[in-house]
Structure formats: C-alpha cells, structure tokens
Structure 1
C-alpha cells in the first residue's frame, strides 16, 4: 500500500526525531527513508535543517564522544561506533582530539572499577582482564598501563 507522504509530514517527522536527541545526517536520512519518505524530499529537508542549525554533524559527533567517554569506552570503540553511524573519519579524529580525554587514566579507572587488585595474575586471568579492556575499546598501550597499575 503506497502512502502519499507530504513534505510537511517529513518535516514534522524529522523535527520529532531531532527533538529526542541529536542525529547524524546519514542516520536521520536512514530513519526517514524507513518511514517511507522520498529520497529527494529527504535531501531537501536535511539541507534546510542544516541551514537552520538543527542538524549539525559536528555537534552530534562531540556529544557522542562525550557520552562514550562517560560510559568508560576507549577510543577504538568510539571510533568504530561513529564509523558505523556514517561519520567521516576526519570528523571522528577531530572530536576525539577535542575531547582531550586521558585514555590511560580512563582505562585504569575502568579496570579498577571492574577488578579488585589481585597481586600476581596467572596467564588465563590476565588474558581475561585484557579482553575486557579490549572490548571496551582500549588499545594495547592503554591496556598495558591499566594492568601495570594493578599492584602485584
């Protein structure tokens, strides 16, 4: 059953989505396509939203990075999540730099929140703890720092 959706309905839908939270351009376009709006109308609406500063990729990326840092996610996970949402690599790198997060301290904090100091770790337990930090998005140097902060 073909729906005849108007530009006003598209505009209202886009504003409703943006009123809940910021969206990236690609993410918002995908949601509007899923609701059955025509691609040409979507493109016009996105241009208008950007002109009125209701849709700002830079703001969206900064908010996403900040939220991930608060969740104790590392730079690798943040980068992967934003790439999945269609954000350009240059925008991601800029936002990570501007966040000025201390990834070493964050990895250590994340590690200490999850694990109690255990002294000397056997290989299996050390690997388990490393996998935990890897899954949170920390790189090898951050993981090494966090594990070495554990008093042995």
Structure 2
C-alpha cells in the first residue's frame, strides 16, 4: 500500500511493474490489478502498461503460452484452463489461438492424470468409478475424455 505522503511518479509505477515481471509473466489485466491496488488506481498506470507492451516487456501472448504450458503440465483439462484464463483477463481469441498452437492430446492427458492419481487398476465399483469421474471433471476434462481415461486399461491403449 502507498504511504500518504508518497508521490506517485511514472518511474515508480514502471519500477513496480518491472519488479513483478522479473518473477514471472503476467497478463496485462493481472498486472493492472496489482498496480491499481498498490498505487490506488493512478491514471498513469495504463500509460506505463502501454509503454511496457510497446517495448516488449509485457506480452499477453507470451503470458498465454507460458500459462497454458504450465496448466497442461499440471494435468488440467481444457475447461479448467479456459476458466483460469478468463480469471486472468485473457480473451477467448488469444486463448483459442494458443490452444491450437499446442499439439496436446487431451485424451492422453486425461489418461495420464487418472493413472497418476489412481494407478492402472480399473475401477470396479460404481462408487470408485464415480469418484474418479468427479476428479477428472474437476480437473477440466470433458465427458468423452473422462470416458476414454477410465476405460483404457490395457498398456497397448496407452
């Protein structure tokens, strides 16, 4: 939070933004939210963010690619990732372009996630199968992907 007698300058806003960007990529909306909180919605924030984008120091495309890779690596499905992107302020056009650029096999990913969590043993009881389905649904996989992940029990299918 800013102190009462602190003078806000564009240099201070830029410095705070650069401090945040040294740790990881941020979407413009996410960075604006953090800076608004720190500098009480100063009007100079938007112009500094524009400048950072022009200089290539902040890029929604770069953020989208990095964030998508991290979510796939964590074993999240497309629905959950889409929700995460909306919360980060990334539009559907940029998200869809990034998803198309990846060669992710969502069925295989659902299978890998299920195997990591539950092992290779098939779910014989309805209660156990429902538990696995809920887990994969929470992870963001659709019904067809869940069905594939739970039905493929042979090593050759993998």
Q: What range is the shorter-chain TM-score in?
A: over 0.9
Residue 127 (structure 2) pairs with residue 128 (structure 1): no
* Separation of aligned partners in 1, 2:136 and 2:11: 47
Shift of 1:38: 4.1
* Separation of aligned partners in 1, 2:55 and 2:34: 20
Which of 20, 24, 32 matches 1:21? 24
Residue 53 (structure 2) pairs with residue 53 (structure 1): no
SS at match of 1:35: helix
Shift of 1:55: 0.7
* Separation of aligned partners in 2, 1:38 and 1:6: 13
* Contact persistence 1:50–1:56 (CA under 8 A): yes
Cα root mean square deviation, aligned: 1.4
Task: Report matched runs for 1:4-83 at 5 Å.
Answer: 4-83=7-86
1:57–1:120 CA distance, 2 compared to 1 (3 A)? closer
Shift of 1:37: 4.8
Q: Which runs of 5+ in 2 are unaligned?
A: none
Aligned length: 151
Residue 152 (structure 2) pairs with residue 149 (structure 1): yes
* Contact persistence 1:133–1:143 (CA under 8 A): yes
* Separation of aligned partners in 2, 1:57 and 1:142: 29
1:120–1:69 CA distance, 2 compared to 1 (3 A)? closer
* Contact persistence 1:65–1:99 (CA under 8 A): no
* Contact persistence 1:5–1:37 (CA under 8 A): no
* Separation of aligned partners in 2, 1:73 and 1:36: 34
Task: Report matched runs for 1:108-119 at 5 Å.
Answer: 108-119=111-122
